[in-house]
Structure 1
Amino acid sequence: MTNSSSPRATTLFISVLPLQEAHREEVMENPLQQNYLLGIIISICGNVLISISLNIQKYAHVRQAQRGSKPYYTSVMWWCGVLLMGVGELGNFAAYGFAPASLIAPLGCVSVIASAIISVIFLKETIRASDVVGGSLAVTGTYLLVTFAPHTSTHITAHLVQYYAVSWHFLLYLFVEIVLFCILLYLYKRRNMKHIVIVMLLVALLASLTVISVKAVSGMITESIKGQLQLIYPIFYVMLVVMVASCAFQIKFLNQAMKMFDATEVVPINFVFFTASAIVAGIIFYQEFEGLALLNIFIFLFGCLLSFIGVFLIARNRPKIKQQDRNFIAMDKIPGRSRTDKVQPEAKTQTYGSLAAKLMCNRAGQTDDS
């Protein structure tokens, strides 16, 4: 009796083991899935706050230009926009600690979509057909990104970052990136080639390091908050220095691009290059596409393409707000008879600002009065 029941109990116990293992795997995957969704929500909210802050700052600039009394940085509304932008960027920083970098970076198109909608509602800008088509494409691309992106998120620890940092594929990628950056910087500085693609490629190469370091720092801070202290390892401070330095030089080159080129060119090109560099950095450094099905990779890249086209259509030929200086009066608007006999000496002449120039003007005035 005992011998006959023992094999049955053993068989029952063996059949239960796979169910227990499956339940254990499900319990382990649920926090990762929740972290993945939490990262998406935080990133979307952060990008919406950034778009709101940009429109608030734009409205503050327009209002201060109409009043013409005080500079824009004395406006409380402008500082509120700056504060909202800081909160939005902080949300994007935190999102890298919960979701893959190859997903958080493409979600930046949410900021472009929200900015276009807010500018139409609050700033009374005209809506165009390209805005509707571009917004639809960007929303469709964002849905494909969220659906087919890698759904696994690893716990970023100091030991894992050290392991990734010394891997041969990342070292090869870093070497190629440094060589390309030096070549582009030589063309930009020495050869004086001020092409928008060169400047945006410099920004994208720096952005790749920024994404890697931001995700490392954010992930280690997240693990430290959960109870596993990661701030005692030197790799945390190395990544922190890389993050600050790459962000500073990235902002420097981006501001130079904004001075040389129009925003309608800089915004879509920067979004495309930044997103592409972030995806490549996530694939090479954090191996985020490892084990992902080929169909998922194809649809994910197709969603990125739709987002790129949508952002390009939204940013293309945006109407410019031209502000006229209140202190400037056109010459043809000045009352009185026109005078062509008195000519201001040119600044390049030797007599400009000298006694001879003043005597010439006085002599012309005496001749006219006589």
Structure 2
Amino acid sequence: MAAAGGGRWYRGMSADNVKGLVLALSSSLFIGASFIIKKKGLKKAASSSSGVRAGVGGYSYLYEPLWWVGMITMVVGEVANFAAYAFAPAILVTPLGALSIIISAVLAHVMLREKLHIFGILGCVLCVVGSTTIVLHAPPERQIESVTEVWGLATEPAFVCYVAVVLALVVVLLFKFVPLYGQTHVMVYIGVCSLVGSVSVMSVKALGIALKLTFSGTNQLVYPQTWAFTMVVITCIITQMNYLNKALDTFNTAVVSPIYYTMFTSLTILASVIMFKDWDRQNPTQIVTEMCGFVTILSGTFLLHKTKDMAADGLSNSPSFRLPTSTASRSFKQTDEYSEGIPLRSPGHHHTDARCADGQVSPSQSTRASRVSYVP
């Protein structure tokens, strides 16, 4: 029988890790479904007579009930994810988000008519294998007695430097790259979401620990640090939600989901290693095994993305998703009828019949979206 708190459930996992695992799996189920439901809501809102796409600054999706269903589903998933961080380290919880990619891919195949290639199934298997490897070798949760202890970790020089770098990059993206490349480069919106997300996870974990201690009888709500973490969480979540909506409305779900997952997870693991020093409680063999599991998950998400690329419009020998180069003179948007529609175009350009003026995009005019460095 599992011991209370951090007792060993079986060799390699603690009771708290098991609770975090169950919550993380539930979170992946809800979040994976929410991507598809929200996407359908965004498409329905954009197709209305008065709808203005979120990708170009519109907010008509706020009047679409289906989008709110997706939003509620995501909130439920995020609540489960929030609770998971209170019991298990981020290096265990965050990579399990790969399972939401599998759920999203399967539902996109069924509901959005995005074809799931046989190698996409292999990608799903790789994600499961990688997740299992990380679960079995995850470090035990650090025992923390007060939110002030978390605040001490957050204000150490190493993590303060990390936050400063993140804020500087976000400011540059928001004020320089979003106006110029937000509609043509998937990494811009996702970069903002992922950078902000890595900080939000650390704050979510701190707040989760504070609530966990409060419910166990040690009130942490009297500490100003608890409310400081709360404000950071709210600010980060609002920012993530706004730019994730823009990314989902502008690019294909099969592109947004794996890129967001990969970048967000990588940055979150880095932030957790810096702030909570997860690897200090592990030997080199465990660390290497976890990294192998993470690389396996990345391989699976990459394969899922590439096979979606191959399946789009039935083209197996040419890229489906292309980004215009700086010298490109024409814009491009894939048709919604077959692959959801991926408007990879420069701001201010318009499309007709979901294609360029001549209906084609030559290799010299565009580069593959997958060439953009990875990396919800």
TM-score exceeds 0.5: yes
8 Å Cα contact 1:188/1:199 also seen in 2: no
* Count of aligned pairs between the two proteins: 300
State the SS of the aligned residue for 2:278: coil
The answer as to 2:193 corresponding to 1:215 is no
- Residues 47-86 of structure 1 mapped to structure 2, 5 A cutoff: 47-55=28-36, 80-86=69-75
CA distances 1:106-128 after superposition (whole Å, capped 9, x unpaired): 11111111233345567776441
Please state which structure has a larger fraction of its residues in helix. Answer: 1
Question: Does the alignment pair 1:310 with 2:261?
Answer: no
Helix, strand or coil for the counterpart of 2:231?
helix
Task: Output the aligned Cα RMSD.
Answer: 3.6
- Go from structure 1 to structure 2 and tell me whether the alpha carbon gap of 1:57 and 1:284 turns closer, same or farther (over 3 Å shift): closer
Amino acid at match of 1:37: V
TM-score by length of 1: 0.69
Alignment TM-score, normalising by the size of structure 2: 0.68
Q: What is the alpha-carbon distance in structure 2 between the residues aligned to residue 48 and residue 260 of structure 1?
A: 24
How far apart are residue 261 of structure 1 and its match?
Answer: 3.8
- Which one is further off, 177-186 or 74-83? 74-83
Number of the residue aligned with 1:253: 243
Is residue 202 from structure 1 mapped to residue 192 from structure 2 by the alignment?
yes
CA distance 1:28–1:240, change in 2 (3 Å):
closer
| Aligned match of 2:337 | 322
- Once residues 230 and 322 of structure 1 are traced to their aligned partners in structure 2, the CA distance between those partners, rounded to angstroms, is 52
Q: Does 1:112 align with 2:101?
A: yes
Distance 1:162 1:312, change over 3 A: same
Q: Which residue of 2 aligns with 1:172?
A: 161
**Contact between 1:214 and 1:243, CA under 8 Å: does it hold in 2?**
yes
Summarize the Cα distance change of 1:88–1:130 in structure 2 as closer, same or farther, 3 Å threshold. same
Flag the 1:129–1:241 CA change in 2: closer, same or farther, 3 A: same
The whole-number CA distance in structure 1 between the counterparts of 2:226 and 2:303 is 40
User: Unmatched 5+ residue regions in structure 2?
Assistant: 50-59, 313-334, 341-376
Is residue 228 of structure 1 aligned with residue 243 of structure 2?
A: no
Where structure 1 has 5 or more consecutive residues not aligned to the other structure, the ranges are 1-24, 325-370
Q: Is the 8 A contact 1:188 1:198 kept in 2?
A: yes
- 1:40 counterpart residue number: 21
Three-state SS of the structure 1 residue aligned to 2:280 is coil
Contact 2:211–2:220 (8 Å) recurs in 1: yes
Distance in 2 separating the partners of 1:219 and 1:63: 39
Q: Is the 8 A contact 1:207 1:274 kept in 2?
A: yes
**Partners in 2 of 1:58 and 1:175 — Cα distance?**
33
Q: Which moved more, 1:244-253 or 1:218-227?
A: 244-253
Shift, 1:91, TM fit: 0.5
Structure number with larger C-alpha Rg? 1
Q: Distance in 1 between matches of 2:255 and 2:112?
A: 22
- Are 1:155 and 1:223, in contact at CA under 8 Å, matched by a contact in 2? no
Specify whether residues 54 and 266 from structure 1 end up closer, same or farther in structure 2 by C-alpha distance, changes over 3 A only: closer
Question: Contact (CA 8 Å) 1:144, 1:300: kept in 2 or not?
Answer: yes
| CA–CA separation in structure 2 for the residues paired with 1:255 and 1:210 | 17
Question: In structure 2, what is the Cα distance between the partners aligned to 1:63 and 1:171?
Answer: 43
Which one of the candidate residues 136, 146, 169 is aligned to 2:125? 136
Q: Which residue is 1:158 aligned to? A: 147
Per-residue CA shift, 1:63-115, capped at 9, x if unaligned? 9999x9xx998887765544333222211111111111122111111111123
**Aligned equivalents of 1:250 and 1:64: distance in 2?**
20
Secondary structure (helix, strand or coil) at the match of 2:121 reads helix
Q: CA deviation at 1:160?
A: 0.9
Q: Percent identity?
A: 27
Q: Give the residue type in structure 1 aligned to 2:210.
A: M
Partner of 2:7, secondary structure, is helix
Match of 2:253 in 1: 263
8 Å CA contact retained: 1:271, 1:308: no
State the shift of 1:220 in Å: 0.6
